[in-house]
Structure 1
């Protein structure tokens, strides 16, 4: 076994170039992580996915639809809150005719002695009803700012498209309202 003498100058040069390469790769990965958020938003906007909090396309035109008085659909309202918020619909259910423009009110209360920024995300059941439930106006379209111990009443103006399949007799509209940018001490306690 013969061992070849190592040249310390070559080792240092190799180590230095490897260190530079690793820093460059780490910087590129860090930059890519920050670039993912705008890339995701752009892809969602182009493809139309993940658009739950945007105005429903064509909802304004839905105001002029024919009301289908021959059938009734029951709409159930659900509310969930994450963080220092109390959130509920002012009524739990409503029977409507497809094509009718309806308004329901939700109430949210900030239970903290500080200002809270929050956002609501809607979901629908059954899933097939999503494309037929058109929100004309909704508090979920924008972030909400609530002052210390403030209570707000917020409307949802909607219409159910008369093209809703006849086998769908009940639609549940559920919102999850959550605090944005929660303080670290609040986030750890959750």
Structure 2
């Protein structure tokens, strides 16, 4: 009888474990939409899904902002320039700008672009989706490359701001230096 009681207890425990396993399996699949909704609500993961920010951002079509683009180098034998010097945009409107860079030297060079903004608080209203400034750039001798910057300036930018400047300055990196993404 003791053997029969432990056998029925084992069968009962197996059933409970099987039900628990099934519930956990279903929970694992159900967690994905919950996680996505949580990320959408909190704004987490927007760098991996830039469309989320653009779709949720409204465009202020009654207001215009002039965005000026600037490019500089410090201690590099590179030519660096935006392919357009300015753009007239509506706040909330996605913008795509191309920059061109050329290594004028006979050696391969690593460089990193550091952004700066005017007015200084623009960084709080500027959301970049893609930028060459996120990673180091390695240019071979005499190589020319075009690099995009995709961004949006949020409609929350103070109303008295009508012109902003986005500037990038390239600095040389020592070989083997892998900067942190900015």
Q: CA deviation at 1:102?
A: 0.8
What do residues 109-153 of structure 1 show as CA deviations (whole Å, max 9, x unaligned)? 001111111100000000122210111100000000101100010
Q: In 1, Cα distance between the equivalents of 2:46 and 2:159? A: 21
Q: In 1, Cα distance between the equivalents of 2:67 and 2:145? A: 22
Equivalence map 1:20-169=2 (5 Å): 58=46, 60=50, 61-64=52-55, 65-82=57-74, 83-169=76-162
How many residue pairs get matched? Answer: 127
Q: In 2, Cα distance between the equivalents of 1:62 and 1:128? A: 20
Instruction: Check whether the contact 1:62–1:161 (CA below 8 A) recurs between aligned residues.
Output: no
SS at match of 1:62: helix
Q: In 2, Cα distance between the equivalents of 1:127 and 1:62? A: 22
Structure 1 unaligned regions, length at least 5: 1-56, 183-190
Q: In 1, Cα distance between the equivalents of 2:156 and 2:129? A: 17
Q: CA deviation at 1:58?
A: 4.4
Q: CA deviation at 1:78?
A: 0.5
Q: CA deviation at 1:68?
A: 0.7
TM-score between both structures, scaled by the size of structure 2: 0.66
Q: In 1, Cα distance between the equivalents of 2:134 and 2:60? A: 28
Q: CA deviation at 1:62?
A: 2.5
In the other structure, the counterpart of 1:31 is none
Instruction: Check whether the contact 1:87–1:106 (CA below 8 A) recurs between aligned residues.
Output: yes
Structure 2 unaligned regions, length at least 5: 1-44, 176-182
SS at match of 2:160: coil
